[in-house]
């Protein structure tokens, strides 16, 4: 039986990011982001693409094309559909208990979802910085993601995935600490 807590946490992280994406204005899609290689549209395309990667991983189907445009003319809708597909794939019996090998290593489905939640929250922070929109990810969810990433990141290769951790005060908000841990300068300036 799937772990209902992590499935609920995935839904919360997906929802807060989706609500933010829903509010992106037409003139903001080309704005730069803290992920220097991506503008806002590229970043949302990455979020959708990685959701689809996790669906393929959990359903043992063909991986999506890396360079494909996953957004089409409805970026917010594409994100919502990919998030729903990921939720459904993760909720399948046995998926979270099974170990899955990827180029990033071997982990259980539950561990991969913890990475996904941290990634969604971190990229949500990126979108807030790029657009100036407000978002309030649940504190408990951010604290859990920060703890997980803080424990796991030292054993992960940073090259091509994460910049070096940035210095930040210990009393900074957890979402800012998560951003700094994964290599973002806080505060970020475009």
* Domain coordinates in residue numbering, the chain: 4-137
Per-residue pLDDT of the chain (190 residues; tens, 9 = 90+): 446 799 999 999 999 999 999 999 999 999 999 998 999 999 999 999 999 999 999 999 999 998 899 999 999 999 999 999 999 999 999 999 999 888 778 899 999 999 999 999 999 999 999 999 999 999 999 999 999 999 987 766 555 567 788 899 999 999 999 999 999 999 999 8
Alpha-carbon distance of 149 to 79, in angstroms, equals 23
Residue 145 neighbours by CB under 8 Å, 6+ apart: 13, 114, 117, 118, 121, 122, 178
CATH number at 4-137: 1.20.120.450
Give me 160's structure tokens. 């091509």
- Please name which of 125, 171, 174, 169 lies closest in space to residue 145, comparing C-alpha atoms: 174
């Amino acid at each position: 039986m799937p772990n209902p807590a992590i499935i609920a946490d995935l839904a919360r992280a997906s929802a807060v990011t989706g609500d933010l994406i829903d509010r992106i204005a037409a003139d903001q899609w080309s704005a730069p982001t803290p992920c220097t290689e991506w503008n806002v549209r590229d970043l949302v395309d990455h979020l959708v693409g990685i959701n689809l990667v996790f669906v393929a991983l959990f359903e043992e189907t063909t991986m999506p094309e890396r360079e494909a445009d996953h957004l089409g003319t409805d970026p917010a809708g594409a994100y919502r559909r990919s998030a729903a597909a990921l939720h459904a794939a993760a909720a399948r019996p046995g998926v979270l208990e099974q170990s899955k090998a990827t180029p990033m290593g071997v982990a259980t489905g539950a561990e991969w979802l913890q990475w996904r939640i941290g990634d969604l929250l971190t990229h949500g922070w990126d979108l807030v910085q790029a657009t100036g929109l407000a978002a309030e990810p649940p504190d408990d969810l951010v604290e859990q993601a920060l703890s997980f990433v803080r424990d796991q990141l030292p054993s992960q290769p940073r090259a091509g995935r994460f910049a070096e951790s940035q210095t930040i005060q210990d009393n900074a908000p957890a979402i800012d600490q998560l951003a700094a841990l994964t290599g973002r300068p806080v505060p970020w300036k475009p």
